[in-house]
């Protein structure tokens, strides 16, 4: 089980090139990848997205790659036409001012655009430089999500234990429910009639109450949902979506048990079950 939130960052200097890679993610229903990097790396984007998709199933993922080249790796480019234009303009100005001094070369090369630094931006060559850093960051990012996922799993299983306890309580309460219905009906008949009531009548009324308020089927379905939930938590590496669906089904059964309930003891346990389930639903939103 992995969390959908994670973060990793690395930077390195490789052959004079400063490289930094950052990956971070938050919750999302689907895989949503955003890539930010220098334009000359655009030919690598599909490859990078595929590498991310192979390791990440869900989450909003932001990847940022920054490149800073050393000037020692740069190539000096001379714009001869710009140099000639500056020389002619300076000569014209000198003539207009009556100056005959020789125009120094140092003055011309200081002008904007005459000399410039450039780099050979070959995407594949850069990939050889940055791929190691990228893979290290991706591995660290996945481990971060895995660590957080283990913490989530531990918390989810603890809440599921609470739900299992509640479901078992409901199941064990069933025989007591029949007895309490019987006692309630007997008491009401005695109060109304003031005499011993026919046993068959009490049994008939008790059976009618049980038909109306029994929660046996809901308990069976609830326990089935909880069993499926545990299996997803323990065995499915990406259970997030499935957990959300099972939580909805379990919530339906708990609500029905609550609506049928006639006893304080059961009502208190319904509240505990709903609280535990709500915690699971909230935590499941963070699960991949």
SS3 per residue for 91-114:
HHHHHHCCCCCCCCHHHHHCCCCC
Domain assignment of residue 279, yes or no: yes
79 pLDDT above the threshold of 70: yes
Q: Please state the rounded mean pLDDT for residues 259-274.
A: 86
Domain assignment of residue 213, yes or no: yes
Domain assignment of residue 152, yes or no: yes
Radius of gyration of the chain (CA): 37
- Asked whether the beta carbons of 110 and 150 are under 8 A apart, the reply is no
Q: Same structural domain for residues 12 and 134? A: yes
- Of 67 and 158, the one with more pLDDT: 158
Q: Same structural domain for residues 209 and 241? A: yes
- The pLDDT score that the predictor gives to residue 192 is 60
Structural domain boundaries enclosing 81: 75-118
Q: Please state the rounded mean pLDDT for residues 134-145.
A: 96
- Asked whether the beta carbons of 270 and 254 are under 8 A apart, the reply is yes
Say which residues have a Cβ less than 8 Å from residue 114's Cβ, sequence separation at least 6.
78, 79, 82, 83, 86, 108
Q: Please state the rounded mean pLDDT for residues 22-45.
A: 93
Q: Same structural domain for residues 214 and 196? A: yes
Domain assignment of residue 97, yes or no: yes
Q: Same structural domain for residues 157 and 279? A: yes
- The pLDDT score that the predictor gives to residue 186 is 66
Q: How far apart are the first and last CA of the chain?
A: 7
User: Across the chain, what does the average pLDDT equal?
Assistant: 85
Q: Same structural domain for residues 28 and 139? A: yes
Domain assignment of residue 158, yes or no: yes
69 pLDDT above the threshold of 90: no
- The pLDDT score that the predictor gives to residue 196 is 65
Domain assignment of residue 1, yes or no: no
Q: Same structural domain for residues 171 and 252? A: yes
- The pLDDT score that the predictor gives to residue 143 is 96
Stated pTM of the model: 0.70
Q: Same structural domain for residues 63 and 169? A: no
- Of 116 and 241, the one with more pLDDT: 241
Q: Same structural domain for residues 200 and 258? A: yes
- Of 80 and 209, the one with more pLDDT: 80
Q: Same structural domain for residues 217 and 238? A: yes
- The pLDDT score that the predictor gives to residue 120 is 62
Q: Please state the rounded mean pLDDT for residues 154-170.
A: 94
Q: Same structural domain for residues 240 and 179? A: yes
47 pLDDT above the threshold of 90: yes
**What's the total number of domains in the chain?**
3
Helix (H) or strand (E) holding 18: strand 17-26
> What is the Cα–Cα distance from 180 to 183, expressed in whole angstroms?
5
Domain assignment of residue 34, yes or no: yes
Q: Same structural domain for residues 168 and 82? A: no
- Asked whether the beta carbons of 247 and 284 are under 8 A apart, the reply is yes
- Of 199 and 222, the one with more pLDDT: 222
Query: In a 3-state reduction of DSSP, which class is residue 39?
Result: helix
Domain assignment of residue 191, yes or no: yes
81 pLDDT above the threshold of 70: yes
Percent of the chain with pLDDT over 70: 83
- pLDDT band of 224, cuts 50, 70, 90: very high
Q: Same structural domain for residues 93 and 135? A: no
């Amino acid at each position: 089980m992995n969390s959908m939130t994670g973060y990793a960052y690395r930077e390195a200097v490789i052959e004079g090139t400063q490289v930094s890679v950052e990956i971070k993610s938050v919750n999302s229903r689907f895989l949503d990848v955003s890539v930010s990097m220098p334009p000359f790396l655009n030919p690598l984007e599909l490859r990078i997205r595929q590498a991310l998709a192979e390791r990440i199933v869900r989450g909003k993922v932001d990847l940022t790659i920054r490149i800073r080249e050393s000037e020692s790796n740069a190539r000096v480019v001379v714009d001869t036409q710009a140099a000639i234009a500056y020389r002619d303009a300076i000569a014209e100005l000198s003539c207009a001012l009556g100056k005959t001094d020789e125009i120094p070369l140092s003055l011309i090369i200081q002008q904007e655009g005459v000399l410039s630094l450039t780099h050979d931006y070959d995407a594949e060559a850069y990939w050889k430089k940055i791929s190691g850093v990228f893979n290290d960051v991706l591995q660290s990012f996945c481990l971060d999500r895995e660590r957080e996922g283990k913490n989530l799993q531990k918390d989810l299983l603890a809440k599921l234990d609470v739900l299992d306890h509640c479901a078992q309580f409901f199941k064990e309460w069933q025989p007591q429910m029949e007895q309490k219905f019987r006692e309630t009906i007997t008491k009401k008949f005695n109060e109304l009639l003031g005499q011993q009531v026919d046993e068959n009548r009490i049994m008939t009324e008790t059976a009618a109450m049980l038909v109306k308020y029994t929660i046996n089927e809901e308990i069976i379905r609830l326990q089935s949902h909880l069993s499926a939930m545990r299996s997803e938590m323990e065995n499915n590496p990406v259970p997030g979506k499935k957990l959300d669906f099972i939580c909805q089904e379990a919530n339906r059964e708990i609500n029905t048990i609550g609506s049928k309930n006639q006893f304080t003891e059961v009502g208190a346990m319904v509240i505990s079950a709903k609280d535990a389930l709500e915690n699971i639903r909230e935590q499941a939103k963070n699960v991949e």
